[in-house]
Amino acid sequence: MQDIKTQSNVSVSMLLIRLSTGGLLLFHGAAKLSHGHSFIREILAEKGMPEWLWLGVPLTEVFSPVLLLLGVFTRMAGAGIALPMLITIFLAHMPGAFNNTDTGGLMVELNLIYMSGALSIAFAGPGKFRVYNPSTYWLQ
């Protein structure tokens, strides 16, 4: 009986992490879709990187969050969010990334929160509340 309760609690926890990480990150993606990606292209150009890499932003902030919300390919979607969050820390926030803001948080606090939620999903999986249940571990 305890195992069923534990499994249910874990599944509810994973659902909450998926909904918060995916749902909140989707707002960032929608804002970038409506306001454009020019500032991302500028950052990439300043760092000497190809400007076409901006295409990873809609994947990271729109497509992957939708997958998380649905519980489809959640491990890959989590990894697809975590890696770009790490990259943005270095591209957009260095060298002062870990400085405190006026409110006491870190400059990269939001990136770290999204990255930790996404990594939790990538390692733990979606839980039992999901739309699609493949048998392959990394496709869950």
Residue 93 vs residue 34, higher pLDDT: 34
Residues 6+ apart with CB under 8 A from 83: none
Whether the pLDDT of residue 120 is over 60: the answer is yes
- Of all residues in the chain, the percent with pLDDT exceeding 90 is 41
Under the phi-then-psi rule, with left for phi > 0, alpha for psi from -120 to 50, and beta for the rest, what region is 134?
beta
Question: Tell me, what amino acid is at 108?
Answer: V
pLDDT mean across residues, the chain: 88
* pTM of the shown model: 0.84
pLDDT for 97-107, tens place per residue?
888 888 888 88
Most confident of 23-32, 48-57, 124-133: 23-32
Distance CA 84, CA 124 (A): 19
Distance CA 111, CA 24 (A): 12
Task: Band the pLDDT of 49: cuts 50, 70, 90.
Answer: confident
- Of all residues in the chain, the percent with pLDDT exceeding 70 is 97
pLDDT for 3-43, tens place per residue?
877 778 888 999 999 999 999 999 999 988 888 888 888 88
Backbone angles phi, psi at 91, to 5 degrees: -75, -45
